[in-house]
Structure 1
Amino acid sequence: MTLRARWQQLLGIRPEEGRTVGLFFLHNFLLGIGTILVYVAANVILLENQPERNLPLAYGVAALAMIVAGRVYAHYEHHLGLQRVAVRVLLAVVALMAVIGVLVAVGHSVWAAIAIMTGYRVIYLLTNLEFWGVSAVVFDVRQGRRLFSVISSGDMPAKALGAVLALLIHHHTELLWLLLLAFGAYVGALLVLRATGREHVVAAHSRARAERTEAVAAPLQRWFGSSRLVLTMCLSMLAIAAVTTGIEYTFFVHVKHRFHDQSVVMRYVSTVLALTYLVALVVKLVVTGKVLDRAGVRPVLLALPGLVVAGLALYGWHDTWADEGLLLYFCALFLTLEVLRRAFFDPVFLVLFQPLPAPERLQAHTLAKGLYEPLGMGLAGLLLLLPHRLPALGTGFAFGWMALLMTGALLLLYRTYGQYLGELQHAVSRRFALAEELPAAEAPNGTAASAEELISLVQALLDKTARPAATVKLRQLGATAAPALAAALHSAPDDAQLRRLANLLGHVPHPLSRTALVELAQRPALLQREAALRALRGFAPEPTDAPVFQGLVQQELVLARQLLHGKAAATLQPLRDALAYELHRLEQRLFGLLLQLYPPQAIADAQRSVTHAARERQANALEILDNLIARPIYQALQTLLELRPAAEKAQVFDRLLPTAPAPVPAVALVVERGETLFSDWTISLALGQWQPAAAGFALLWPHLQSSSQLVRESAAAALARWAPAYPAAYQAALLQHPSLPEFLMSHSATAAHLSAADRVAVLQHTALFAATPANVLSSIVPIMKEVAFAAQEHIFAKGDLGASLFIVYEGEVGVFHGEQQLATFRKGDFFGELALLDAEPRSATAVAQTPVLAFRLDQDDFYDVMEERPEVLRNILRVLCQRLRKQNELVKQ
């Protein structure tokens, strides 16, 4: 691993994000240089003359200017678009720098210093709005949690540099050199912004969402946003900005009174500022992301107000401190506040807005930074001036109102976390509520039915023709049918019947139904667990069942660790793909288990959204899970969902499950556990790679008796390899199982015809099924009927009732409308696909142009497969939609 890769890994930067993070870091670094140099220039002048009066006055004037600038920015952001307004902001900042340069050159009065400080605050606001506005639409909520602390740390070394440069200032004329450097930094930031715009779409686009159940009243939305999250965050920002201003003021003034000499004051202030920014830089880069990941949003959000309130309370003992102790207290308070604010609060504050629609996100940020933060600073300026008018208030007055405001911020931020979760839920919820998502009404008991009638109805589920009527009748019976269905579940003859029974129990809201399904979920066969979890989606979680489902979650995580190690070690791509499918099934089971442990609607919305094409929706779903489910489970689920190498994922699971058994090689695990855990395609591949030992027949025998043709053929092939390799063991096995030669003969016969594995390959090379995993295609193999046609023989005629799809394996088929040939199909092509979905008369005639060997899929059989494997239907619909779009394009031409 290269040094750069190690550095990115330490900071939580993924390889594909490296250039983007570098651009934003550089952008913020250049903005930080420009801003801090203006800040130094203003403070050099302000600290020379009566800072007790002039600083609060500067705060008040700057607050008014910032509010005006924020309103102007919000107007143009709405009308011009983010990309254009960001460029114009930097151009305006460059122009404002020229004005400040003139003031520094010719103005030496207090009002000139206040004007410079006001210019600094406006520049700070505009650059902050521009930088974070662009960041908010480029990064999603999950990236924000990982990267906002990294990209925002760019201004920390710049500000430390500015603080060091302040030590070199001995005359006002030297400030011009700082301003010239700041001018160049802003020009560089403009160039970086243009480079960012070339690589990313910097625009506020967002999908339509459902109406909020709790929103701010319409007349107030202009000032508080449309979400209560924005309201509480803005009010807390007002309080924090006021306290920040107050602590900065008390620090500067106390240092001024302690040292008097201007050069000593600037040296001391600059040293503290440099130390503060360097500490904040290290914490932001190395600590913030890890703390946020382990502790979560709420503790990190509350750290700033909580610790500052505690620090302000310490002032009550200041009478016992010496002058040096008091100075150290003010330095520590200022440093703690700045580090907490810049390293923790600001990145998390911005992350909280990320679940909002992009336009609301930008509006919220502009409101918080462009209106409420200046209001907080102006309020602090007013409160800091009061002791000069009313000396009786004393120094304790400032600490009193700061403690009061910060306590209010603490309470507001505590409520903000719940509103943040609500916004995440709103971000991934469907725009329109569906009927099945509403609380299910209690099913009526239905009409009475005798025990014999119930048994007859359950038996009818085995008959394809009688099944629909029996299913309808059992649903109508409701709770009356629950005992019979639960009893039948224990003795279901096959997995298909078991799935039907579980599905019916899922539609009968009765305690006995739930009990039977929970018992089914605990069986070792994962296909049965999947059926139970699918049926349990209609039931609300029961706290008494929580230990059961928590235990099943741990089982799934142990299996995931095994599969990841197996996938990482697998040398052949087909086996890796098969294990990837098994992991996908495991993910679905995990979500099914979580539905029984946590609020179902939130989990269901998250499950639907993690596979969504929109990156923002995926990120919001993961953030919901991060704040909802147990931390170890979330870390495991996130690892499974991430696009990372299997070996890296396996390492994460090793850390999460340190006491789990050592991983077993994938092939050995699949052969040993067989159809209890795995699909038949995975077992077939594992048997193909398995090298059985002399005692391996005990593992091979169950596969030879499998109901799956694919597994039987692979097991027979393995037997054909094993028998000559261990003749003595084979003879011993032959004594116990005299039918073994039949399996070897069956294997030879299969080799002369198209095997089940070859049929899967046929489906894989057919466009209709090309995107469907082989594990799913293997379920179609049993219904593939091999048919042959002589040259010029009609396969079907126009007007015939269509009920079958054909896949050409050998030969050539022509499709005709009268005498006109419409299409020609060759090996790998398919035709008649609409008949799988709708039995309508054929619209054309299909004729074998040469001798044809094909596979026929009948509609009735295919419906059974689609019931078991919904992925097949989804893939067919996707291909048909593509064909329809192409046909529409041809019509337009």
Structure 2
Amino acid sequence: MTLRARWQQLLGIRPEEGRTVGLFFLHNFLLGIGTILVYVAANVILLENQPERNLPLAYGVAALAMMAAGQIYAHFEHHLGLQRVAVRVLLAVVALMAVLAVLVAVGHSVAAAVAIMTGYRVIYLLTNLEFWGVSAVVFDVRQGRRLFSVISSGDMPAKALGAVLALLIHHHTELLWLLLLAFGAYVGALLVLRATGREHVVEARSRARAARTEAVAAPLQRWFGSSRLVLTMCLSMLAIAAVTTGIEYTFFVHVKHRFHDQSVVMRYVSTVLAITYLVALVVKLVVTGKVLDRAGVRPVLLALPALVVAGLALYGLHDTWADGGLMLYFCILFLTLEVLRRAFFDPVFLVLFQPLPAPERLQAHTLAKGLYEPLGMGLAGLLLLLPHLVPALGTGFAFGWMGALMAGALLLLYRTYGQYMGELQHAVSRRFTLDDALPASAVDGSEVVSREELANLVAALPDKATRPAATARLRQLGAAAVPAVAQALLTTPDDAQLRRLAQLLGHVPSTASRNALVTLAQRPFLTSREAALRALRNFPPEPTNAPAFQALVQQELLLARQLLHAKAATEHQPLRDALAYELHRLEQRLFGLLLHLYPPQAIADAQRSVAHAARERQANALEILDNLIARPVYQALQTLLELRPAAEKARIFDRLLPTAAAPLPGLHFIIKQGEIVFSDWTLSLALREWQPAAADFMLLPSYLESASLLVRESALDALSRWAAAHPAAYQQACIHHPQLPELLMSHAAAAAHLSAADRVALLQHTALFAQTPANVLSSIVPIMKEVVFAAEEQVFAKGDLGASLFIVHQGEVSIFNGPQQLATFRPGDFFGELALLDAEPRSATAVAQTPVLAFRLDQDDFYDVMEERPEVLRNIMQVLCQRLRRQNEMVK
């Protein structure tokens, strides 16, 4: 691993994000240089001119100017779009720098100092809105959690550099050089912004969402929008901005009173600022992401107000401190606040906006930073002036109002977390809700029915002819049918029958049906567990079943660890793909279990959105899970869902499950668990790759008698290899299993025919099934009927009732409409696919041009497969839609 890769891994940056993060870091670094140099220039002048009175005045004037600038920015952001506004903001900042340079050169009055401080605040606001506005639309909520602390750390070294440069300032004329450097930094930031715009779409794309069920009161929506999250965040930002301003003011003023000499004051302030920014840089880069990942959003969000309230309360002990203790207290309070605010609060606070729709997100950010934060600073300026106007208030007044405001912010932020979860849920919820209530007939169990009738109804389910009527009658009987269905559920050996019985129980909302399904879910056969979990989706969570589901979650996590190790250990790509499918099945089972441990609607929305094509929707879903389910389970599920190498995922699972036994060798584990855990395709691949030892014969007999043709063929292949490698053991096995030689002979004789594995390969190379996993295609193999046509023989005629699809394996088939030849199909092509979905008369005639070997899929058989494997139907619909689009384009 290269040094760059190690550095990115330490910071939580994925390889594909490296350049983007670098651009944003550089952008923020250049903005930080420009802003801090203006800040140094403003403070050099202000600290020389009665800061006790002039700082509050500067805060008030700057607040008014910032609110005006924020409103102007919001107007143009709405009308021009983010990309154009961002460029214009930096151009405006460059122009404003020229005005400040003139003020520094010619103005030494209090008014000039206040004007310079106001200019600094306006520049800080505009660059902040521009930078975070662009970040908010480029990164999603999950990336924000990982990367906002990294990209926002770019201004920390710049600010530390500015603090050091302040030590070198001895005359006002030197400030002009700082402003010239700031000018160059802003020009550089403009160039970086243009580079970012060339690589990313910097615009707020709006997607339709359902209306909020809990919105802000109508009179307040003009100021806060409809989201309660924005309301509480803006109010908490106001309170925190006021307290931050108050603590900054008390720190500067006490430093001024302590040292008096201007050069000493600047040296002390610059040293504290440099230390603060460097500490914040290290914490942001190395600590913030890890703390946020382990602790979650709420503790990190509440850390700043909670610690500041505690710090302010310590002021009550200042009478007992030794000489210099008060100065040290103000220094530590200021440093702690700045580090917490910059390293933790600001990145997390901005992440909270990410679930909002993009236009609303930008509006909320502009509102918080452009109106309520300046309003908090202005409020602080007013409150800081009061003791000068009313001396009787004393020094404790400032700590009183700061403590009250920060306590209020603590309460608001505590509520904010719940509203954040609500916005995440709103972001992934359906636009339209469906009424999932069961029909009255499904819950009616009052009818008396005999055991014989129930047994006959259950026995009629496997037969296609009698199944519809039997299913309808059992649903009508409801609770009365549960004992018979539950009994059959636990005794049937057929997977398809088991799924039908579980589905029937899922439509009967009774304790007995739930208990039967929970019992089924606890069986070791994973097909049974999947059928039970699918049926249990109709039931709300039951607390008494929680321990059973938690135990199953742990079983699934242990299985996931073993599968990841097996996938990482094999170089055989088909087997790796098969194991990836097994992991996908495992993910679905995990979601099914979580539905009964946590609020089901939130889990269902998250599950649906995790598979969504839109990156932002996926990120919102993961964020919901992160803040909802148990942390170790979330970390495991996130690892499964992420695009990482299997070996890396396996190492993460090893850390999450430190007490688990060492994983077994992959092939040995698959063959040992067999059809209890794995699909027949995965098992058949493992059997073909397996090199059995002399003592491994006892694992084979059950597979030689498997109901799956794929498994039987692979087991016979493994048996032939074992017999050749271990002739003595084979002869000994023949004594106890005399049918082995006959099995091997029949296997050799069948080698000339197309095997089940070859049929899967044929399906994989057919466009209709090319995107369907081989594990799913293996379920189609049993219904593939081999058909042969001679040259010029008709496959079907126009007007015949179509009920079959054909896949060409050898030869050519042409399609005719009268004398006109419409198309020719060759090996790997398919035709007649519409007949699988709609049995209508054929619209053309199919004729074999040469001798043809093909495979026919009949509609009735295919319906059964689609009932078992919905992925097959989804893939067919996708291919048919693509063909329809192409035809429409040809017509146009």
TM-score class normalised by the smaller sequence:
over 0.9
Q: Which residue of 2 is the match for residue 745 of structure 1?
A: 745
Q: Distance in 1 between matches of 2:439 and 2:493?
A: 33
- The one-character-per-residue Cα deviations of 1:302-333 (angstroms, maximum 9, x if unpaired) are 00000000000000011122341000000000
Is 1:815 equivalent to 2:815 in the alignment? yes
| Cα drift, residue 661 of structure 1 | 1.3
Q: Which residue of 1 is the match for residue 523 of structure 2?
A: 523
| Cα drift, residue 444 of structure 1 | 2.4
- The one-character-per-residue Cα deviations of 1:731-768 (angstroms, maximum 9, x if unpaired) are 22222222212311221122111100010111011000
Note the 1:422-437 alignment, pairs <5 A. 422-436=422-436
Q: Which amino acid aligns with 2:837?
A: L
Is 1:312 equivalent to 2:312 in the alignment? yes
| Cα drift, residue 223 of structure 1 | 1.1
Q: Which residue of 1 is the match for residue 550 of structure 2?
A: 550
Query: What SS does the aligned partner of 1:208 have?
Result: coil
Query: What SS does the aligned partner of 1:376 have?
Result: helix
Q: Distance in 1 between matches of 2:736 and 2:555?
A: 35
Q: Is the 8 A contact 1:246 1:402 kept in 2?
A: yes
Query: What SS does the aligned partner of 2:444 have?
Result: coil
Q: Distance in 1 between matches of 2:717 and 2:641?
A: 36
Q: Which residue of 1 is the match for residue 394 of structure 2?
A: 394
Q: Is the 8 A contact 2:816 2:822 kept in 1?
A: yes
Higher mean C-alpha deviation, range 476-485 or range 181-190? 476-485
Note the 1:203-602 alignment, pairs <5 A. 203-436=203-436, 443-445=443-445, 447-602=447-602
- The one-character-per-residue Cα deviations of 1:57-92 (angstroms, maximum 9, x if unpaired) are 000000000000000000000000000000000000
Q: 1:651 to 1:437 in 2, by over 3 A?
A: farther
Q: Which residue of 2 is the match for residue 197 of structure 1?
A: 197
Q: Distance in 2 between matches of 1:641 and 1:56?
A: 52
Q: Distance in 2 between matches of 1:482 and 1:295?
A: 45
Structural RMSD (CA): 1.1
Q: Which residue of 1 is the match for residue 111 of structure 2?
A: 111
Query: What SS does the aligned partner of 1:435 have?
Result: coil
Q: Is the 8 A contact 2:442 2:475 kept in 1?
A: no
Higher mean C-alpha deviation, range 695-704 or range 443-452? 443-452
Is 1:622 equivalent to 2:622 in the alignment? yes
TM-score by length of 2: 0.99
Q: Distance in 2 between matches of 1:362 and 1:443?
A: 49
Q: Distance in 1 between matches of 2:370 and 2:733?
A: 83
| Cα drift, residue 222 of structure 1 | 2.8
Q: 1:128 to 1:869 in 2, by over 3 A?
A: same
Q: Which residue of 2 is the match for residue 91 of structure 1?
A: 91
Unpaired segments ≥5 residues, structure 1:
none
Q: Which residue of 2 is the match for residue 791 of structure 1?
A: 791
Query: What SS does the aligned partner of 1:409 have?
Result: helix
Q: Is the 8 A contact 1:518 1:532 kept in 2?
A: yes
Is 1:858 equivalent to 2:858 in the alignment? yes
Q: Is the 8 A contact 1:564 1:647 kept in 2?
A: yes
Q: 1:437 to 1:302 in 2, by over 3 A?
A: farther
Query: What SS does the aligned partner of 2:149 have?
Result: helix
| Cα drift, residue 648 of structure 1 | 0.4
Query: What SS does the aligned partner of 1:841 have?
Result: coil
Q: Which residue of 2 is the match for residue 57 of structure 1?
A: 57
Query: What SS does the aligned partner of 2:700 have?
Result: helix
- The one-character-per-residue Cα deviations of 1:119-164 (angstroms, maximum 9, x if unpaired) are 0000000000000000000000000000000000000000011011
Q: Is the 8 A contact 1:446 1:476 kept in 2?
A: no
4+ residue runs over 4 A deviation: 437-442
Higher mean C-alpha deviation, range 485-494 or range 645-654? 485-494
Q: Distance in 2 between matches of 1:571 and 1:84?
A: 50
| Cα drift, residue 440 of structure 1 | 10
Q: Distance in 2 between matches of 1:92 and 1:275?
A: 31
Q: Distance in 2 between matches of 1:34 and 1:599?
A: 49
Q: Distance in 1 between matches of 2:337 and 2:832?
A: 71
Q: Which amino acid aligns with 2:236?
A: S
Q: Distance in 2 between matches of 1:456 and 1:402?
A: 78
Q: Which residue of 2 is the match for residue 828 of structure 1?
A: 828
Q: Is the 8 A contact 1:70 1:370 kept in 2?
A: yes
| Cα drift, residue 441 of structure 1 | 10
Q: Which residue of 2 is the match for residue 74 of structure 1?
A: 74
Query: What SS does the aligned partner of 2:356 have?
Result: coil
Q: Is the 8 A contact 1:799 1:841 kept in 2?
A: yes
| Cα drift, residue 447 of structure 1 | 2.9
Q: 1:437 to 1:235 in 2, by over 3 A?
A: farther
Q: 1:884 to 1:457 in 2, by over 3 A?
A: same
Q: Which amino acid aligns with 2:734?
A: L
**How many residue pairs align between the two structures?**
892
Q: Is the 8 A contact 1:553 1:590 kept in 2?
A: yes
Higher mean C-alpha deviation, range 71-80 or range 431-440? 431-440
- The one-character-per-residue Cα deviations of 1:849-893 (angstroms, maximum 9, x if unpaired) are 11111000000000010011100000000000000000000010x
Higher mean C-alpha deviation, range 569-578 or range 129-138? 569-578
Q: Which amino acid aligns with 2:628?
A: L
Higher mean C-alpha deviation, range 19-28 or range 721-730? 721-730
Q: 1:652 to 1:440 in 2, by over 3 A?
A: farther
Q: Distance in 1 between matches of 2:290 and 2:542?
A: 34
Q: Is the 8 A contact 1:805 1:831 kept in 2?
A: yes
Q: Which amino acid aligns with 2:200?
A: H
Q: Which residue of 2 is the match for residue 734 of structure 1?
A: 734
Higher mean C-alpha deviation, range 691-700 or range 128-137? 691-700
Q: Distance in 2 between matches of 1:386 and 1:698?
A: 90
Q: Which amino acid aligns with 1:777?
A: L
Q: Is the 8 A contact 1:768 1:876 kept in 2?
A: yes
Q: Which amino acid aligns with 1:837?
A: L
Q: Is the 8 A contact 1:153 1:281 kept in 2?
A: yes
| Cα drift, residue 694 of structure 1 | 1.1
Note the 1:126-205 alignment, pairs <5 A. 126-205=126-205
Q: Distance in 2 between matches of 1:276 and 1:666?
A: 52
Q: Is the 8 A contact 1:713 1:750 kept in 2?
A: no
Q: Distance in 1 between matches of 2:441 and 2:185?
A: 65
Q: Which amino acid aligns with 1:384?
A: L
Q: Which residue of 2 is the match for residue 771 of structure 1?
A: 771
| Cα drift, residue 446 of structure 1 | 5.2
Q: Distance in 2 between matches of 1:329 and 1:820?
A: 94
| Cα drift, residue 477 of structure 1 | 1.1
Q: Is the 8 A contact 2:789 2:852 kept in 1?
A: yes
- The one-character-per-residue Cα deviations of 1:16-40 (angstroms, maximum 9, x if unpaired) are 0000000000000000000011011
Q: Distance in 2 between matches of 1:414 and 1:428?
A: 23
Q: Distance in 2 between matches of 1:742 and 1:239?
A: 85
Q: Which amino acid aligns with 2:505?
A: L
| Cα drift, residue 726 of structure 1 | 1.9
Q: Distance in 2 between matches of 1:751 and 1:659?
A: 47
Q: 1:442 to 1:65 in 2, by over 3 A?
A: farther
| Cα drift, residue 530 of structure 1 | 0.5
Q: Distance in 2 between matches of 1:697 and 1:827?
A: 39
| Cα drift, residue 693 of structure 1 | 1.1
Q: Is the 8 A contact 1:716 1:746 kept in 2?
A: no
Query: What SS does the aligned partner of 2:695 have?
Result: coil
Query: What SS does the aligned partner of 2:643 have?
Result: coil
Q: Distance in 1 between matches of 2:357 and 2:593?
A: 30
- The one-character-per-residue Cα deviations of 1:185-209 (angstroms, maximum 9, x if unpaired) are 0000000000000000000003100
Q: Distance in 2 between matches of 1:624 and 1:282?
A: 29
- The one-character-per-residue Cα deviations of 1:347-373 (angstroms, maximum 9, x if unpaired) are 000000000000010000000000000
Identity %: 85
Q: Which amino acid aligns with 2:781?
A: V
Q: Is the 8 A contact 1:83 1:203 kept in 2?
A: yes
| Cα drift, residue 669 of structure 1 | 0.9
Query: What SS does the aligned partner of 1:696 have?
Result: helix
TM-score by length of 1: 0.99
Q: Which residue of 2 is the match for residue 693 of structure 1?
A: 693
- The one-character-per-residue Cα deviations of 1:274-312 (angstroms, maximum 9, x if unpaired) are 111011001101110000000000000000000000000
Q: Which amino acid aligns with 2:274?
A: A
| Cα drift, residue 443 of structure 1 | 1.9
Q: Which amino acid aligns with 1:869?
A: R
Q: Which amino acid aligns with 1:784?
A: M
Unpaired segments ≥5 residues, structure 2:
none
